[in-house]
Chains A and B, each alone.
Chain A
Amino acid sequence: MKKFLNKLDIERKALKPINSLFREPQLCGLTAKAIEQWHSQHPECGIEIYKRLLAVSNSVGSLSDRSGERFDEQYMLDSERSEEEVRQLLKLLASQ
């Protein structure tokens, strides 16, 4: 259960800045499905942002999906990768 708390912390850290910028309720958990729907409605945002969102989605999603043995050192490395993906996305958004 404590690992579940850790998972929530990681997800909140990734989702807050992105949801704060996009203000799009349906993006909420950043699933690939939600991002694709969002992109089809907002093509003006460009392919780079779309790709970056998917990259964040992949890294956060892979953390969220884990269970049992999947919480390990690799999990912590992937957590760091996830944070880096968010930083890259925010940097891209700031440059536009």
Chain B
Amino acid sequence: MADIYAFGSVVSGEFDEGSDTDILAIESPFDENRYPSDWSVYSRDRIKELYSRGTLFAWHLHLEAVPIFSSASGGFLESIDPPAPYSEAKQEIQLLLTIAKTALAELASDTPSSIYELGILGVAIRDIGMAASHILNGNFCFSKFAPFLLRSAALPMNRDDYFFLIKCRRATTRGYHVNYDDERCRKIMETSPSIFEWGDKVLTQVGKGER
């Protein structure tokens, strides 16, 4: 039995020329080899576990996934209870800040993989915004611009520079061309103290459960 859902930018309407199409397949019994390699494939038990833990991904699916196909009557996600409350925001933001710091340390050490590291930095910043959104805004936000939409702690970064980071991630994972230049990389690294001040501010507010 299989259930297929679409989620992400194709569903939210936030797609652009570099967006991919996020497809989720939930299957029981589990056989990941039946599906295209760029699909996310999960067993029903795994989805239930994610929902019971109340992970960010579970909430993303719960709030956004749109059924495309179901081999049974009614989709699987619609048949299970909503996810447990998301309670891992603080720990995840701490880890994402560590990931961002590691990427910046690699860039500072003149890594030969600068586009890769810039992409990691972008993903970490984006995911901090998503993880903090439900506490700081009162509702989940899975937009790629989530860091700018935090009402009390919007990311103090030029949007073009941020989108450049996201493009670096797409170049890394999908082979898209990105107009890389050392000057832009240097400029972003110079802003890193303000990025971390922002990250610490978000972390503090999330810790206090502030709005």
- Check B115 for interface membership: any CB of A closer than 8 A: yes
B99–A31 CB distance below 8 A: no
- Check B38 for interface membership: any CB of A closer than 8 A: yes
| Interfacial residues, chain A to chain B (CB-CB below 8 A) | 1-2, 4-5, 8, 11-12, 15-16, 19-20, 23, 25-26, 28-29, 31-35, 37, 62, 64-65, 67-70
A29–B180 CB distance below 8 A: no
- Check B40 for interface membership: any CB of A closer than 8 A: yes
**CA of A34 to CA of B180 in the docked complex: distance in angstroms?**
14
B116–A15 CB distance below 8 A: yes
A28–B32 CB distance below 8 A: no
Please report whether the interface of chain B is mostly helix, strand, loop or mixed according to DSSP: helix
Interface string of B111-130 (1 = CB under 8 A from A): 11111100110000000000
A29–B40 CB distance below 8 A: no
Interface string of B159-190 (1 = CB under 8 A from A): 00000000010011111111010000000000
Chain B residues contacting A12 (CB-CB under 8 Å) are 106, 113, 116
Name the distance in Å between B6's Cβ and chain A's nearest Cβ.
Answer: 16
- Check B64 for interface membership: any CB of A closer than 8 A: no
B120–A69 CB distance below 8 A: no
Name the distance in Å between A67's Cβ and chain B's nearest Cβ.
Answer: 5
Interface string of B32-69 (1 = CB under 8 A from A): 10000110111100100000000000000000000000
- For residue A14, which residue of chain B has the nearest CB? B113
Chain A residues contacting B113 (CB-CB under 8 Å) are 12, 15-16, 19, 28
B174–A28 CB distance below 8 A: no
Chain A residues contacting B168 (CB-CB under 8 Å) are 28
27 sampled A-B residue pairs with Cβ under 8 A: A1-B91, A1-B96, A5-B95, A5-B99, A11-B116, A12-B113, A16-B112, A19-B111, A20-B112, A25-B114, A25-B180, A26-B115, A28-B113, A28-B171, A29-B115, A29-B171, A31-B173, A33-B175, A62-B37, A65-B37, A68-B40, A68-B41, A68-B42, A69-B32, A69-B46, A70-B32, A70-B41
Chain B residues contacting A67 (CB-CB under 8 Å) are 40-42
B120–A8 CB distance below 8 A: yes
